[in-house]
Chain A
Amino acid sequence: MRTALGKKESQEYLGISNLVNLPFNWSAGPYLGRWLIELRDNGKLWASRCSKCQRLLLPPRVICGICHVRAPEWPNWVELSGKGELIEWEKVVAPQMNPSTGKIEQEPYIHGNILLDEGVTFQHHLEEPDETKLKEGARVEMVLKPKHERKGLVTDILYFRLVKE
Protein backbone atom coordinates (compact mmCIF):
# COMPACT_ATOMS: atom_id res chain seq x y z
CA MET A 1 0.00 0.00 0.00
CA ARG A 2 1.40 3.38 -0.91
CA THR A 3 0.99 5.73 1.99
CA ALA A 4 1.17 9.45 2.34
CA LEU A 5 4.40 9.13 4.27
CA GLY A 6 5.99 6.52 2.05
CA LYS A 7 6.11 2.83 2.92
CA LYS A 8 6.77 2.10 6.53
CA GLU A 9 7.27 -1.30 8.08
CA SER A 10 5.39 -0.83 11.30
CA GLN A 11 3.37 2.26 12.00
CA GLU A 12 0.71 2.92 14.58
CA TYR A 13 -2.24 4.63 12.96
CA LEU A 14 -4.29 6.49 15.51
CA GLY A 15 -8.00 6.81 14.99
CA ILE A 16 -10.55 8.84 16.89
CA SER A 17 -13.81 7.13 17.71
CA ASN A 18 -17.10 8.84 18.06
CA LEU A 19 -20.52 7.31 18.48
CA VAL A 20 -23.17 9.82 17.52
CA ASN A 21 -26.60 9.50 18.99
CA LEU A 22 -28.84 11.82 17.04
CA PRO A 23 -32.47 11.75 18.16
CA PHE A 24 -35.24 12.56 15.71
CA ASN A 25 -38.93 13.19 15.85
CA TRP A 26 -40.15 13.08 12.27
CA SER A 27 -43.60 14.39 11.46
CA ALA A 28 -45.72 11.92 9.53
CA GLY A 29 -47.58 14.70 7.76
CA PRO A 30 -51.24 14.62 6.74
CA TYR A 31 -50.91 11.77 4.23
CA LEU A 32 -48.75 9.16 5.91
CA GLY A 33 -50.10 10.37 9.24
CA ARG A 34 -53.68 9.57 8.28
CA TRP A 35 -52.54 6.24 6.78
CA LEU A 36 -50.92 5.26 10.06
CA ILE A 37 -53.91 6.38 12.13
CA GLU A 38 -56.23 4.28 9.95
CA LEU A 39 -53.98 1.30 10.43
CA ARG A 40 -53.73 1.77 14.16
CA ASP A 41 -57.33 2.61 14.97
CA ASN A 42 -59.31 0.81 12.28
CA GLY A 43 -56.95 -1.88 11.05
CA LYS A 44 -57.38 -0.63 7.50
CA LEU A 45 -54.87 -0.40 4.66
CA TRP A 46 -55.32 2.47 2.22
CA ALA A 47 -53.74 3.79 -0.97
CA SER A 48 -54.56 6.86 -3.06
CA ARG A 49 -54.90 7.01 -6.83
CA CYS A 50 -53.31 9.58 -9.10
CA SER A 51 -56.07 11.32 -11.01
CA LYS A 52 -53.87 11.58 -14.10
CA CYS A 53 -51.98 8.30 -14.53
CA GLN A 54 -54.41 6.30 -12.39
CA ARG A 55 -51.71 4.34 -10.63
CA LEU A 56 -52.15 3.51 -6.98
CA LEU A 57 -49.88 5.35 -4.57
CA LEU A 58 -48.85 3.36 -1.52
CA PRO A 59 -48.34 5.17 0.77
CA PRO A 60 -50.58 8.07 -0.13
CA ARG A 61 -48.53 11.21 -0.64
CA VAL A 62 -48.87 14.86 -1.54
CA ILE A 63 -48.27 14.54 -5.30
CA CYS A 64 -47.75 11.88 -7.92
CA GLY A 65 -44.06 12.33 -8.64
CA ILE A 66 -44.43 11.33 -12.28
CA CYS A 67 -47.46 13.41 -13.26
CA HIS A 68 -46.69 16.21 -10.87
CA VAL A 69 -50.30 16.70 -9.87
CA ARG A 70 -51.69 16.79 -6.37
CA ALA A 71 -52.80 13.36 -5.22
CA PRO A 72 -56.17 12.94 -3.47
CA GLU A 73 -56.50 13.62 0.22
CA TRP A 74 -58.29 11.54 2.79
CA PRO A 75 -61.02 10.27 2.50
CA ASN A 76 -60.75 9.97 -1.28
CA TRP A 77 -58.55 6.99 -0.93
CA VAL A 78 -58.82 3.37 -2.08
CA GLU A 79 -59.17 0.73 0.58
CA LEU A 80 -56.91 -2.27 0.15
CA SER A 81 -57.87 -5.80 1.15
CA GLY A 82 -54.46 -6.64 2.51
CA LYS A 83 -54.37 -9.72 0.27
CA GLY A 84 -52.06 -10.43 -2.59
CA GLU A 85 -49.43 -12.72 -3.98
CA LEU A 86 -45.80 -13.16 -3.16
CA ILE A 87 -43.48 -11.85 -5.89
CA GLU A 88 -40.19 -12.57 -4.20
CA TRP A 89 -38.57 -12.82 -0.82
CA GLU A 90 -35.23 -12.66 0.85
CA LYS A 91 -34.08 -14.42 3.96
CA VAL A 92 -31.92 -11.96 5.85
CA VAL A 93 -29.45 -13.97 7.88
CA ALA A 94 -26.53 -11.65 8.46
CA PRO A 95 -27.02 -9.60 11.63
CA GLN A 96 -28.18 -6.13 10.69
CA MET A 97 -27.71 -2.89 12.51
CA ASN A 98 -31.06 -1.24 13.04
CA PRO A 99 -30.36 2.41 12.23
CA SER A 100 -33.20 3.51 14.47
CA THR A 101 -31.73 1.95 17.57
CA GLY A 102 -28.08 1.44 16.72
CA LYS A 103 -28.38 -2.14 17.93
CA ILE A 104 -27.40 -5.20 15.95
CA GLU A 105 -30.38 -7.43 15.33
CA GLN A 106 -29.46 -11.08 15.15
CA GLU A 107 -32.70 -12.84 14.36
CA PRO A 108 -32.89 -14.06 10.81
CA TYR A 109 -36.12 -13.08 9.15
CA ILE A 110 -37.74 -13.35 5.76
CA HIS A 111 -39.06 -10.26 4.15
CA GLY A 112 -41.22 -10.42 1.12
CA ASN A 113 -42.27 -8.23 -1.74
CA ILE A 114 -45.99 -8.65 -2.25
CA LEU A 115 -48.19 -7.65 -5.17
CA LEU A 116 -51.42 -6.66 -3.52
CA ASP A 117 -54.61 -7.61 -5.40
CA GLU A 118 -55.36 -3.96 -6.18
CA GLY A 119 -52.18 -3.72 -8.24
CA VAL A 120 -49.57 -2.10 -6.03
CA THR A 121 -46.56 -3.64 -4.30
CA PHE A 122 -45.69 -3.64 -0.64
CA GLN A 123 -42.82 -5.02 1.42
CA HIS A 124 -43.12 -6.56 4.85
CA HIS A 125 -42.01 -9.52 6.94
CA LEU A 126 -43.41 -12.97 6.19
CA GLU A 127 -44.71 -15.25 8.91
CA GLU A 128 -43.23 -18.37 7.36
CA PRO A 129 -39.65 -18.86 8.56
CA ASP A 130 -38.96 -21.76 6.20
CA GLU A 131 -37.93 -20.54 2.77
CA THR A 132 -38.63 -23.87 1.13
CA LYS A 133 -42.32 -23.42 1.80
CA LEU A 134 -42.42 -20.18 -0.23
CA LYS A 135 -43.38 -20.09 -3.89
CA GLU A 136 -43.63 -17.29 -6.37
CA GLY A 137 -47.29 -16.38 -6.74
CA ALA A 138 -48.26 -17.85 -3.35
CA ARG A 139 -51.33 -16.14 -1.87
CA VAL A 140 -50.61 -14.11 1.23
CA GLU A 141 -52.65 -11.95 3.55
CA MET A 142 -51.93 -9.22 6.04
CA VAL A 143 -51.99 -9.96 9.76
CA LEU A 144 -52.24 -7.07 12.15
CA LYS A 145 -51.03 -6.80 15.69
CA PRO A 146 -53.82 -6.79 18.24
CA LYS A 147 -55.34 -3.32 18.50
CA HIS A 148 -53.92 -2.54 21.91
CA GLU A 149 -50.40 -3.20 20.60
CA ARG A 150 -50.68 -0.96 17.56
CA LYS A 151 -48.81 2.29 17.84
CA GLY A 152 -49.27 4.11 14.52
CA LEU A 153 -46.25 2.53 12.82
CA VAL A 154 -45.86 0.41 9.69
CA THR A 155 -45.01 -2.42 12.02
CA ASP A 156 -48.58 -2.38 13.33
CA ILE A 157 -48.81 -4.92 10.57
CA LEU A 158 -47.29 -7.99 12.19
CA TYR A 159 -46.51 -9.88 9.01
CA PHE A 160 -48.01 -11.41 5.91
CA ARG A 161 -48.92 -15.05 6.17
CA LEU A 162 -49.47 -17.70 3.55
CA VAL A 163 -53.14 -18.23 2.96
CA LYS A 164 -54.01 -21.78 3.90
CA GLU A 165 -55.49 -23.54 0.88
Chain B
Amino acid sequence: MSRRVGIVAVAQTEYEEAKPAWREAEITYQIVEKLLEETRLSFAEDGTGIDATVTCSSDHWDGRTLSDIPHGEVSGAHLRAEEKVSSDGINAVIYAYLQILSGHYDVVLAVTTCKESQTVGHIIENLAFDPVYQQKIDLDFLAAAALQANRYIHKYGITPEQCARVVVKNRSNAKNNPVAQLRKPVSMEEVLNSTMLAYPLRSLEAKPVSDGACGLILASEEKAKKLTKKPAWIVGMGQCYESHYLGDRDLAECDTLSLAAKRAYQQAGITNPLRDIDLAEISEYCSYQELLWSEGLGFCEKGEGGKLIDKGVTQIEGKMPVNPSGGVLSGNPTLVAGTTRVAEVALQLMGKAGARQIPKARTGLAHGTYGPCGQHHAVLVLQA
Protein backbone atom coordinates (compact mmCIF):
# COMPACT_ATOMS: atom_id res chain seq x y z
CA MET B 1 0.00 0.00 0.00
CA SER B 2 1.94 3.03 -1.12
CA ARG B 3 0.42 6.45 -0.73
CA ARG B 4 1.34 9.88 -1.98
CA VAL B 5 2.15 12.47 0.64
CA GLY B 6 1.93 16.17 0.01
CA ILE B 7 2.87 19.35 1.81
CA VAL B 8 -0.31 21.38 2.15
CA ALA B 9 0.79 24.43 4.10
CA VAL B 10 3.99 26.18 5.03
CA ALA B 11 4.82 28.90 7.56
CA GLN B 12 8.02 30.70 8.45
CA THR B 13 8.86 33.48 10.86
CA GLU B 14 11.08 36.30 9.74
CA TYR B 15 14.60 35.17 10.37
CA GLU B 16 16.37 37.67 12.56
CA GLU B 17 19.72 38.09 14.25
CA ALA B 18 17.86 37.90 17.56
CA LYS B 19 14.27 37.73 18.74
CA PRO B 20 14.58 39.03 22.29
CA ALA B 21 10.86 39.68 22.51
CA TRP B 22 9.88 36.00 22.38
CA ARG B 23 10.53 32.71 24.11
CA GLU B 24 11.32 29.70 21.91
CA ALA B 25 7.88 28.15 22.26
CA GLU B 26 6.14 31.45 21.56
CA ILE B 27 7.99 31.53 18.23
CA THR B 28 6.85 27.96 17.56
CA TYR B 29 3.31 29.03 18.30
CA GLN B 30 3.49 31.78 15.72
CA ILE B 31 4.14 29.06 13.14
CA VAL B 32 1.48 26.71 14.46
CA GLU B 33 -1.14 29.46 14.56
CA LYS B 34 -0.44 30.42 10.95
CA LEU B 35 -0.65 26.82 9.79
CA LEU B 36 -3.91 26.17 11.62
CA GLU B 37 -5.40 29.36 10.22
CA GLU B 38 -4.40 28.56 6.68
CA THR B 39 -5.62 24.97 6.68
CA ARG B 40 -8.54 25.39 9.11
CA LEU B 41 -7.32 22.21 10.76
CA SER B 42 -7.53 21.61 14.47
CA PHE B 43 -6.08 19.02 16.78
CA ALA B 44 -9.31 17.03 16.75
CA GLU B 45 -8.88 13.31 17.09
CA ASP B 46 -11.83 12.14 15.05
CA GLY B 47 -9.90 11.88 11.81
CA THR B 48 -10.64 15.43 10.73
CA GLY B 49 -7.65 17.03 12.42
CA ILE B 50 -3.91 16.82 12.72
CA ASP B 51 -3.00 13.30 13.85
CA ALA B 52 0.48 13.91 15.23
CA THR B 53 3.22 16.49 15.65
CA VAL B 54 6.93 16.21 14.97
CA THR B 55 8.91 18.94 16.68
CA CYS B 56 12.57 19.60 16.07
CA SER B 57 14.69 21.46 18.57
CA SER B 58 17.96 21.02 20.36
CA ASP B 59 18.32 20.60 24.12
CA HIS B 60 21.69 22.30 23.83
CA TRP B 61 20.49 25.37 21.97
CA ASP B 62 17.37 25.70 24.15
CA GLY B 63 19.36 25.08 27.32
CA ARG B 64 16.78 22.63 28.44
CA THR B 65 16.45 18.85 28.73
CA LEU B 66 13.33 17.66 26.96
CA SER B 67 13.25 20.88 24.97
CA ASP B 68 10.13 19.59 23.25
CA ILE B 69 8.03 20.12 26.36
CA PRO B 70 7.28 23.78 25.62
CA HIS B 71 7.32 23.31 21.84
CA GLY B 72 4.97 20.39 22.14
CA GLU B 73 2.62 22.31 24.40
CA VAL B 74 1.96 24.91 21.71
CA SER B 75 1.81 22.42 18.87
CA GLY B 76 -0.97 20.26 20.20
CA ALA B 77 0.87 17.69 22.25
CA HIS B 78 -1.66 17.56 25.06
CA LEU B 79 -2.88 13.97 25.26
CA ARG B 80 -1.72 13.45 21.70
CA ALA B 81 1.29 12.13 19.80
CA GLU B 82 4.40 14.24 19.56
CA GLU B 83 7.98 13.26 18.88
CA LYS B 84 11.16 15.26 18.79
CA VAL B 85 13.77 14.92 16.11
CA SER B 86 17.09 16.30 17.24
CA SER B 87 18.78 16.17 13.84
CA ASP B 88 18.62 18.87 11.18
CA GLY B 89 15.08 20.04 10.48
CA ILE B 90 14.78 18.42 7.07
CA ASN B 91 14.68 15.15 8.98
CA ALA B 92 11.64 16.33 10.92
CA VAL B 93 9.84 16.73 7.59
CA ILE B 94 11.15 13.34 6.49
CA TYR B 95 9.95 11.74 9.70
CA ALA B 96 6.50 13.24 9.26
CA TYR B 97 6.57 11.89 5.69
CA LEU B 98 7.48 8.41 6.91
CA GLN B 99 4.75 8.51 9.55
CA ILE B 100 2.11 9.17 6.89
CA LEU B 101 3.57 6.66 4.43
CA SER B 102 3.34 4.03 7.14
CA GLY B 103 -0.41 4.43 7.18
CA HIS B 104 -0.49 5.09 10.91
CA TYR B 105 -1.34 8.77 10.47
CA ASP B 106 -2.87 10.87 7.70
CA VAL B 107 -1.95 14.43 8.69
CA VAL B 108 1.21 15.43 10.53
CA LEU B 109 2.53 18.82 11.61
CA ALA B 110 6.31 19.32 11.55
CA VAL B 111 7.89 22.39 13.14
CA THR B 112 11.49 23.34 13.87
CA THR B 113 12.58 26.18 16.13
CA CYS B 114 15.93 27.52 17.25
CA LYS B 115 17.15 30.70 18.91
CA GLU B 116 20.86 30.81 18.27
CA SER B 117 21.17 34.28 19.77
CA GLN B 118 20.60 33.08 23.31
CA THR B 119 23.77 31.04 23.72
CA VAL B 120 27.21 30.34 22.28
CA GLY B 121 27.21 28.07 19.24
CA HIS B 122 30.82 27.08 19.04
CA ILE B 123 30.77 25.61 22.55
CA ILE B 124 27.78 23.47 21.59
CA GLU B 125 29.24 22.41 18.25
CA ASN B 126 32.46 21.33 19.92
CA LEU B 127 30.39 18.78 21.85
CA ALA B 128 29.47 17.03 18.61
CA PHE B 129 33.04 15.89 18.12
CA ASP B 130 34.18 12.64 19.70
CA PRO B 131 35.87 13.34 23.02
CA VAL B 132 38.92 11.18 22.34
CA TYR B 133 40.43 12.55 19.14
CA GLN B 134 38.61 15.59 17.84
CA GLN B 135 36.94 17.49 20.67
CA LYS B 136 40.09 18.51 22.49
CA ILE B 137 41.56 20.27 19.47
CA ASP B 138 38.71 22.77 19.83
CA LEU B 139 36.97 22.06 16.58
CA ASP B 140 33.59 23.56 15.93
CA PHE B 141 31.60 23.32 12.69
CA LEU B 142 33.21 26.44 11.25
CA ALA B 143 36.75 25.21 11.90
CA ALA B 144 35.85 21.85 10.40
CA ALA B 145 34.34 23.60 7.40
CA ALA B 146 37.56 25.54 6.98
CA LEU B 147 39.45 22.24 6.87
CA GLN B 148 37.05 21.01 4.23
CA ALA B 149 37.24 24.23 2.25
CA ASN B 150 41.02 24.04 2.17
CA ARG B 151 41.02 20.45 1.01
CA TYR B 152 38.36 21.10 -1.61
CA ILE B 153 40.08 24.21 -2.95
CA HIS B 154 43.43 22.47 -3.06
CA LYS B 155 42.17 19.32 -4.78
CA TYR B 156 40.04 20.96 -7.43
CA GLY B 157 41.48 24.44 -7.85
CA ILE B 158 38.35 26.25 -6.66
CA THR B 159 39.05 29.97 -6.47
CA PRO B 160 38.09 32.50 -3.78
CA GLU B 161 36.06 34.32 -6.43
CA GLN B 162 33.99 31.25 -7.17
CA CYS B 163 33.19 30.89 -3.48
CA ALA B 164 32.43 34.59 -3.16
CA ARG B 165 30.11 34.33 -6.16
CA VAL B 166 27.88 32.03 -4.10
CA VAL B 167 27.52 34.71 -1.45
CA VAL B 168 26.84 37.48 -3.94
CA LYS B 169 24.20 35.35 -5.69
CA ASN B 170 22.41 34.26 -2.56
CA ARG B 171 22.45 37.65 -0.89
CA SER B 172 21.07 39.13 -4.08
CA ASN B 173 18.31 36.50 -4.18
CA ALA B 174 17.44 37.30 -0.58
CA LYS B 175 16.25 40.77 -1.46
CA ASN B 176 13.15 39.14 -2.96
CA ASN B 177 12.48 37.11 0.19
CA PRO B 178 10.43 39.00 2.77
CA VAL B 179 11.43 36.65 5.59
CA ALA B 180 15.17 36.55 4.85
CA GLN B 181 17.43 37.92 7.56
CA LEU B 182 20.04 39.64 5.42
CA ARG B 183 18.32 41.32 2.54
CA LYS B 184 20.99 43.75 1.45
CA PRO B 185 23.06 42.49 -1.47
CA VAL B 186 26.84 42.40 -1.13
CA SER B 187 29.54 42.83 -3.76
CA MET B 188 32.45 40.54 -4.62
CA GLU B 189 34.86 43.07 -3.10
CA GLU B 190 32.95 43.19 0.16
CA VAL B 191 32.99 39.42 0.43
CA LEU B 192 36.65 39.05 -0.48
CA ASN B 193 37.65 41.76 1.96
CA SER B 194 35.49 40.69 4.88
CA THR B 195 37.22 39.59 8.09
CA MET B 196 39.02 36.26 7.95
CA LEU B 197 37.37 33.88 10.44
CA ALA B 198 39.11 30.57 9.79
CA TYR B 199 41.25 30.42 6.68
CA PRO B 200 40.00 30.50 3.98
CA LEU B 201 36.52 31.36 5.28
CA ARG B 202 35.68 35.00 5.68
CA SER B 203 32.85 36.43 7.76
CA LEU B 204 30.55 37.10 4.79
CA GLU B 205 31.11 33.52 3.64
CA ALA B 206 29.63 31.97 6.78
CA LYS B 207 26.05 31.99 7.91
CA PRO B 208 25.10 34.60 10.51
CA VAL B 209 23.65 33.91 13.95
CA SER B 210 19.91 33.63 13.51
CA ASP B 211 16.63 33.08 15.36
CA GLY B 212 13.44 31.76 13.86
CA ALA B 213 11.17 28.84 13.14
CA CYS B 214 9.62 27.05 10.21
CA GLY B 215 6.77 24.56 10.01
CA LEU B 216 4.78 22.56 7.52
CA ILE B 217 1.72 20.35 7.44
CA LEU B 218 1.92 17.13 5.46
CA ALA B 219 -1.06 15.02 4.50
CA SER B 220 -1.90 11.82 2.71
CA GLU B 221 -3.12 12.26 -0.85
CA GLU B 222 -6.83 12.09 -0.14
CA LYS B 223 -6.69 14.66 2.63
CA ALA B 224 -4.05 16.81 0.93
CA LYS B 225 -6.33 17.37 -2.04
CA LYS B 226 -9.08 18.58 0.27
CA LEU B 227 -6.77 20.89 2.22
CA THR B 228 -5.23 22.79 -0.65
CA LYS B 229 -5.57 23.18 -4.39
CA LYS B 230 -1.95 22.52 -5.14
CA PRO B 231 -0.09 20.30 -2.69
CA ALA B 232 3.65 19.91 -3.15
CA TRP B 233 4.04 16.13 -3.41
CA ILE B 234 7.07 14.41 -1.97
CA VAL B 235 8.30 12.07 -4.68
CA GLY B 236 11.78 11.17 -3.51
CA MET B 237 13.69 10.95 -0.24
CA GLY B 238 17.23 10.05 0.66
CA GLN B 239 19.40 10.31 3.75
CA CYS B 240 22.96 9.23 4.40
CA TYR B 241 25.48 9.24 7.25
CA GLU B 242 29.23 9.66 6.72
CA SER B 243 32.00 8.47 8.98
CA HIS B 244 32.60 10.69 12.01
CA TYR B 245 36.36 10.82 11.92
CA LEU B 246 37.41 13.65 9.65
CA GLY B 247 40.75 12.00 9.01
CA ASP B 248 39.04 8.94 7.54
CA ARG B 249 37.37 11.02 4.87
CA ASP B 250 38.51 12.83 1.79
CA LEU B 251 36.86 16.11 2.70
CA ALA B 252 36.88 17.25 -0.90
CA GLU B 253 34.29 14.61 -1.73
CA CYS B 254 30.73 14.22 -0.56
CA ASP B 255 29.89 10.70 -1.61
CA THR B 256 27.29 10.43 1.13
CA LEU B 257 25.37 13.31 -0.42
CA SER B 258 25.56 11.51 -3.75
CA LEU B 259 24.23 8.37 -2.09
CA ALA B 260 21.38 10.27 -0.49
CA ALA B 261 20.58 12.03 -3.76
CA LYS B 262 20.74 8.76 -5.68
CA ARG B 263 18.09 7.23 -3.43
CA ALA B 264 15.87 10.26 -3.80
CA TYR B 265 16.36 10.47 -7.56
CA GLN B 266 15.62 6.77 -8.00
CA GLN B 267 12.32 7.12 -6.21
CA ALA B 268 11.45 10.27 -8.14
CA GLY B 269 12.46 8.89 -11.52
CA ILE B 270 15.14 11.54 -12.00
CA THR B 271 17.94 10.55 -14.34
CA ASN B 272 19.36 13.95 -15.29
CA PRO B 273 19.10 16.41 -12.39
CA LEU B 274 19.83 19.54 -14.42
CA ARG B 275 17.14 18.62 -16.86
CA ASP B 276 14.56 17.06 -14.54
CA ILE B 277 14.72 19.51 -11.63
CA ASP B 278 13.61 23.11 -11.93
CA LEU B 279 15.15 24.58 -8.76
CA ALA B 280 17.07 23.57 -5.67
CA GLU B 281 17.26 24.83 -2.10
CA ILE B 282 20.46 23.47 -0.61
CA SER B 283 21.94 24.06 2.83
CA GLU B 284 25.09 26.12 2.39
CA TYR B 285 26.34 27.09 5.86
CA CYS B 286 29.53 28.38 4.18
CA SER B 287 30.13 29.62 0.64
CA TYR B 288 32.20 26.70 -0.68
CA GLN B 289 29.53 24.24 0.47
CA GLU B 290 27.11 25.30 -2.22
CA LEU B 291 29.72 24.38 -4.83
CA LEU B 292 30.61 21.08 -3.19
CA TRP B 293 27.03 20.05 -2.49
CA SER B 294 26.12 20.87 -6.12
CA GLU B 295 28.67 18.27 -7.18
CA GLY B 296 27.25 15.74 -4.73
CA LEU B 297 23.76 16.36 -6.06
CA GLY B 298 24.94 15.66 -9.59
CA PHE B 299 24.45 19.16 -10.95
CA CYS B 300 27.98 18.89 -12.38
CA GLU B 301 30.98 16.56 -12.33
CA LYS B 302 33.26 16.24 -9.31
CA GLY B 303 35.49 19.24 -8.96
CA GLU B 304 33.40 21.32 -11.36
CA GLY B 305 31.39 23.18 -8.73
CA GLY B 306 33.34 26.37 -9.33
CA LYS B 307 32.83 26.17 -13.09
CA LEU B 308 29.10 25.57 -12.52
CA ILE B 309 28.63 28.90 -10.80
CA ASP B 310 30.97 30.67 -13.25
CA LYS B 311 28.75 29.53 -16.10
CA GLY B 312 25.75 31.07 -14.34
CA VAL B 313 23.83 27.79 -14.22
CA THR B 314 22.77 28.32 -10.60
CA GLN B 315 21.82 31.99 -10.89
CA ILE B 316 18.16 32.80 -10.44
CA GLU B 317 17.67 33.08 -14.19
CA GLY B 318 19.90 30.08 -14.87
CA LYS B 319 19.07 26.52 -15.84
CA MET B 320 19.11 25.32 -12.21
CA PRO B 321 18.42 28.21 -9.83
CA VAL B 322 19.99 27.33 -6.50
CA ASN B 323 18.71 29.03 -3.34
CA PRO B 324 16.29 31.55 -4.81
CA SER B 325 15.32 32.22 -1.18
CA GLY B 326 18.79 33.48 -0.34
CA GLY B 327 19.80 30.21 1.26
CA VAL B 328 21.29 29.61 4.68
CA LEU B 329 23.92 32.30 4.05
CA SER B 330 21.20 34.92 4.15
CA GLY B 331 20.27 33.82 7.63
CA ASN B 332 18.65 30.66 8.94
CA PRO B 333 19.10 29.18 12.40
CA THR B 334 20.78 25.83 12.70
CA LEU B 335 18.24 22.97 12.60
CA VAL B 336 15.62 25.28 11.09
CA ALA B 337 17.70 25.62 7.91
CA GLY B 338 16.71 22.18 6.66
CA THR B 339 13.00 22.69 7.26
CA THR B 340 13.20 26.09 5.57
CA ARG B 341 14.68 24.55 2.46
CA VAL B 342 11.70 22.23 2.14
CA ALA B 343 9.28 25.06 2.87
CA GLU B 344 10.85 27.25 0.19
CA VAL B 345 10.66 24.54 -2.44
CA ALA B 346 7.05 23.83 -1.48
CA LEU B 347 6.20 27.52 -1.84
CA GLN B 348 7.79 27.56 -5.29
CA LEU B 349 5.80 24.54 -6.45
CA MET B 350 2.59 25.93 -5.01
CA GLY B 351 3.20 29.17 -6.92
CA LYS B 352 3.33 31.13 -3.67
CA ALA B 353 6.92 32.30 -3.74
CA GLY B 354 6.07 35.91 -4.57
CA ALA B 355 8.94 37.99 -5.89
CA ARG B 356 11.33 35.04 -5.75
CA GLN B 357 9.05 32.70 -7.73
CA ILE B 358 10.79 30.61 -10.36
CA PRO B 359 8.41 30.50 -13.31
CA LYS B 360 6.85 27.12 -14.15
CA ALA B 361 8.52 25.40 -11.20
CA ARG B 362 7.30 21.81 -11.31
CA THR B 363 10.02 19.79 -9.64
CA GLY B 364 12.19 21.01 -6.79
CA LEU B 365 14.95 19.66 -4.60
CA ALA B 366 15.46 20.43 -0.92
CA HIS B 367 18.65 19.52 0.90
CA GLY B 368 19.58 19.57 4.56
CA THR B 369 22.78 18.72 6.34
CA TYR B 370 24.22 18.60 9.84
CA GLY B 371 27.41 17.59 11.52
CA PRO B 372 31.00 18.51 10.77
CA CYS B 373 31.76 18.84 7.04
CA GLY B 374 28.31 17.54 6.16
CA GLN B 375 28.42 14.30 8.10
CA HIS B 376 24.73 13.71 7.45
CA HIS B 377 22.88 14.70 4.31
CA ALA B 378 19.23 14.45 3.43
CA VAL B 379 17.50 15.17 0.15
CA LEU B 380 13.83 15.54 -0.69
CA VAL B 381 12.46 15.82 -4.20
CA LEU B 382 9.10 17.53 -4.47
CA GLN B 383 6.76 17.86 -7.39
CA ALA B 384 3.74 20.02 -8.10
Interface residues of A (CB under 8 A from B): 16, 18, 20-32, 62-63, 65-66, 68, 70
CB-CB < 8 A to B120: which residues of A? 22-23
Interface residues of B (CB under 8 A from A): 19-23, 25-26, 29, 33, 42-43, 60, 63, 73-74, 76-78, 115, 117-120, 123-124, 127, 131-132, 135-136
Asked if B78 and A26 sit within 8 Å, CB to CB, the answer is: no
Known: A16-B132, A22-B63, A24-B119. A29 touches B21 (CB 8 A): yes
Asked if B23 and A63 sit within 8 Å, CB to CB, the answer is: no
Kindly state the separation between the CA atoms of A63 and B132 in the bound complex, as whole angstroms: 45
* Set B20, B23, B43, B127: member contacting A68, Cβ < 8 A: B43
CB-CB < 8 A to A25: which residues of B? 117-119
CB-CB < 8 A to A65: which residues of B? 73-74, 77-78
CB-CB < 8 A to A32: which residues of B? 23
| Residue in A closest to B20 when the chains form the complex, CB atoms | A27
Asked if A22 and B20 sit within 8 Å, CB to CB, the answer is: no
* Set A16, A22, A70: member contacting B123, Cβ < 8 A: A22
Asked if B29 and A63 sit within 8 Å, CB to CB, the answer is: yes
Asked if B136 and A16 sit within 8 Å, CB to CB, the answer is: yes
Known: A62-B29, A66-B78. A24 touches B23 (CB 8 A): no
Kindly state the separation between the CA atoms of A18 and B136 in the bound complex, as whole angstroms: 9
Asked if A27 and B119 sit within 8 Å, CB to CB, the answer is: no
Kindly state the separation between the CA atoms of A30 and B117 in the bound complex, as whole angstroms: 18
14 additional A-B residue pairs with CB within 8 Å, beyond A16-B136, A18-B135: A20-B127, A22-B120, A23-B119, A24-B63, A25-B119, A26-B23, A27-B19, A27-B23, A27-B115, A29-B26, A31-B26, A62-B74, A63-B73, A68-B43
Closest 6 CB pairs of A and B: A29-B23, A65-B73, A24-B63, A16-B131, A24-B119, A29-B26
Known: A22-B124, A29-B26. A63 touches B19 (CB 8 A): no
CB-CB < 8 A to A31: which residues of B? 26
Kindly state the separation between the CA atoms of A66 and B77 in the bound complex, as whole angstroms: 9
Known: A28-B23, A29-B23, A30-B21. A68 touches B78 (CB 8 A): yes
CB-CB < 8 A to A22: which residues of B? 60, 63, 119-120, 123-124
CB-CB < 8 A to B118: which residues of A? 24-27
Asked if B21 and A27 sit within 8 Å, CB to CB, the answer is: yes
CB-CB < 8 A to A63: which residues of B? 29, 73-74
Kindly state the separation between the CA atoms of A18 and B43 in the bound complex, as whole angstroms: 44
Q: Output the least CB separation between B211 and chain A (Å).
A: 9
Kindly state the separation between the CA atoms of A63 and B117 in the bound complex, as whole angstroms: 24
CB-CB < 8 A to A29: which residues of B? 21-23, 26
CB-CB < 8 A to B77: which residues of A? 65
| Residue in B closest to A14 when the chains form the complex, CB atoms | B132
CB-CB < 8 A to B63: which residues of A? 22, 24, 26
Kindly state the separation between the CA atoms of A83 and B335 in the bound complex, as whole angstroms: 44
Q: Output the least CB separation between A37 and chain B (Å).
A: 13
Kindly state the separation between the CA atoms of A29 and B20 in the bound complex, as whole angstroms: 7
The contact sample of 19 A-B pairs, CB cut-off 8 A, is: A20-B123, A22-B63, A22-B119, A22-B120, A23-B119, A23-B120, A24-B118, A26-B23, A27-B20, A27-B21, A29-B22, A30-B21, A31-B26, A62-B26, A62-B29, A62-B74, A65-B73, A65-B74, A66-B78
